[in-house]
Chain A
């Protein structure tokens, strides 16, 4: 570990620390939701370590509980994480000069919060070691917080009666993610069309309604964006 890696790590950690408190309720809810779905504590921690992607974990839980086909679960997880293709493309220049294994690790640990905090400085520093430290310290801290508080949620959920419907907290968590997105009009339209068509098509075989809903929502949002764009032009 070079000294510039350590300097970067210290600065990245300091920048991210205040934001990282926001991860705590999520991880607790995640732990409780996995237990409410019926996982054993080992299975729940297994999912938490292997997947490490809150939205995709929360989003696939109801599908796993309903014994939906594997491909549908995978497609849904993929759809929920596709935004990271864009984040990944944006932050990629920050990783020039780092080894392949480090890039894979960085990719696995990329989250919305770390992306938001690290992007700017990573693109404006010339030292690859400093940049890697600046990214990995907050990323590793997120990972640690996520695992620790999910475990606390898992252990706490075991003592909470099932009538309390804790699994509904997963729905609330998804709503909280959706609300700030839906402040932009085309995004709101994508959500409304996605939600409505998935509801109306819920009886399609293999729970295809979810995938059709997602595709319809993307198409509607994209169309709304284009219409808005055209109307703005003189």
Chain B
């Protein structure tokens, strides 16, 4: 894939989109407060966004919904590992083992 100079523009814009929320109240000080309703709604943004990014990638193969596919199996392995153990490496090891095992071992 080819990425040109516009990629750097994208980085800068993503940088702004991530720094402005973090800096917002620290820079503004206590002059402004956030309504409780907004605070409560904002808490759901990351979970919704993470799922909106990951789930389609696990369920869709070549634009078709496919429940039995190596990526979904690997995702389930990663979920199981992170539910059961605190070790930060295990989900990666479990997920990649299942993905590569199914791809190379079973040729899926």
A residues sitting closer than 8 Å to B (CB atoms) are 22, 25-26, 29, 37-40, 43, 46-47, 50-53, 55-57, 59-60, 62-65, 70, 73-89, 91-93, 95-96, 100, 103-104, 106-108, 110, 164-165, 168-169, 171-182, 186-188, 190-199, 202-203, 209-210, 213-218, 220-222, 225
The number of chain B residues touching the other chain, given as a range, is 35 or more
Question: Is there an interface contact between B21 and A84, defined as CB atoms closer than 8 Å?
Answer: yes
B28 is an interface residue with CB less than 8 A from chain A: yes
Q: Check B88–A22 contact: CB distance below 8 A.
A: yes
State the 6 A-B residue pairs at the shortest beta-carbon distance, nearest first: A107-B23, A217-B48, A195-B55, A221-B44, A194-B48, A213-B52
User: What are 9 sample pairs from A and B whose C-beta atoms fall under 8 A apart?
Assistant: A43-B7, A53-B19, A82-B42, A173-B92, A190-B47, A194-B51, A198-B56, A218-B48, A222-B40
Q: In the assembled complex, which residues on chain B have CB atoms less than 8 Å from the CB atom of A38?
A: 1, 3
Q: Judge if B106 is at the interface, Cβ distance under 8 Å.
A: no
| A195 near B82: Cβ-Cβ < 8 Å | no
Question: Contacting A76 at CB < 8 Å: which of B49, B51, B91?
Answer: B49
Q: Using an 8 Å CB-CB cutoff, how does the interface string of B76-108 with A read, 1 for contact, 0 for none?
A: 001100110000110110011001100100000
Q: Collect the chain A residues with CB atoms within 8 Å of residue B59's CB.
A: 199
Q: Given A59-B49, A74-B14, A91-B26, are A195 and B54 also a contact pair (CB < 8 Å)? A: yes
Given A46-B8, A108-B22, decide whether A79 and B27 contact each other with a Cβ distance below 8 A. no
Report the number of A-B residue pairs with Cβ-Cβ less than 8 Å: 282
Whether B25 is near chain A, meaning CB under 8 Å from some CB there, is yes
A169: B residues at CB distance < 8 A? 92, 95-96
Complex contact B29–A79 (CB within 8 A): no
- Known A171-B57, A175-B91; contact A86-B34, beta-carbon cutoff 8 A: yes
Partner of A217, one of B9, B51, B100: B51
Are A168 and B71 in touch, CB under 8 angstroms? yes
Q: Are A25 and B88 touching (Cβ within 8 A)?
A: yes
Chain B residues positioned under 8 Å from A84 (CB to CB): 18, 21-22, 24
What residue of chain A has the Cβ atom nearest to residue B57's Cβ?
Answer: A171
Q: Measured between alpha carbons, how far is A103 from B31 in the docked complex, in Å?
A: 15
Q: A40-B3, A52-B15, A70-B13 are in contact. List 8 more A-B contacts (CB 8 A).
A: A39-B7, A60-B14, A87-B22, A89-B34, A110-B22, A171-B71, A187-B44, A216-B48
What residues on A are CB-neighbors of B25 within 8 Å?
Answer: 85, 88-89, 91-92
| B18 / chain A contacts, CB cutoff of 8 Å | 51-53, 56, 77-78, 80-81, 84
Select one of B29, B54, B65, B89 contacting A175, CB under 8 A.
B54
Chain A residues within an 8 Å CB radius of B21: 78, 81-85, 88
A54 to B21, CA, bound (A): 15
A110 and B89 in contact (CB under 8 A), knowing A50-B15, A217-B44, A218-B44? no
Residues 25 to 69 of chain B near chain A (Cβ within 8 Å): 25-30, 33-34, 39-60, 63, 65
Assembly CA distance A57 to B1 (angstroms): 18
